[in-house]
Structure 1
């Protein structure tokens, strides 16, 4: 019950912030205004979100990591990654489609948020690298795991950008599936474009 209440408060603050950011602009909105709109004190707001940029940060890593942790240890690494990401994303899209799109609009347009998003991706990569290393029973610093982690995070970012460019009208799950396919199989998975009749 307590965790559900904390989650509800966090969501209320974040949604109030996004509504104000869209209505007034990110730079023009103060944290005091966000706290009033969410009906919480400024100190409560900062307990949940220590910085203004954090209000638009990606907080889905724990969901994906938990799903990855539950995959069988003898499963091929990329199969585990794909299954965890697909399951987590399906849940997120079902619950937060418009929220995801609104946050993407802000994250890709506001310079301060673009910088924060880059730090989020770096943290996600390090987190994925750590869990893959642990699951593989290997030593920290494996070159292969570093490459896989970097490629997966980049693939997810590219899929999200393509979805945002289509204003959320394309199928995010399909974009993510295609991005992961290219990541797993490389250039061999890319179908060459057919030449036009004039060529």
Structure 2
């Protein structure tokens, strides 16, 4: 069986290309990724995470000035696909206007935007691949639409950290070794080797 990505979400912004202060981060403690930058004096921020509890990918776009967010969103895939235009409930806006046509979503003059992506599969097992992938995707999407972004994020982080925080590993720092000064000789001190320290809330062998 060959595994392939379901597709790519393409966002094209209308704010120009003269970017400064570009910063990208992956936060392992929260399983979130963020991008921030400044264009024409406006600071833009983008945060993305994939939520296991709500089965959606959430994209949050914000700016420090009202009405600064304008972009088009489209979806491409290496799979055999058909293109359809989403309705207005597929996207959550703070201010601004949303429209869609020919499979492309356009947002104009928004203060903040939340995009939710839900993916369904027809795969049930090796002998059954006729599942209702559209129904599955719509079910998760409609449920997530009723939840505010900050709550979606809290649920995602809580679910992730329940596993992530089960084990912590720290590496001990060896003491400094003596170094000979110029023109003098000294006997090297024995090499100190440190062993990893491991603490866990569950049974583990370190």
TM-score, structure 1 as length reference: 0.28
Instruction: Give the strand-richer structure, 1 or 2.
Output: 2
Instruction: Give the helix-richer structure, 1 or 2.
Output: 1
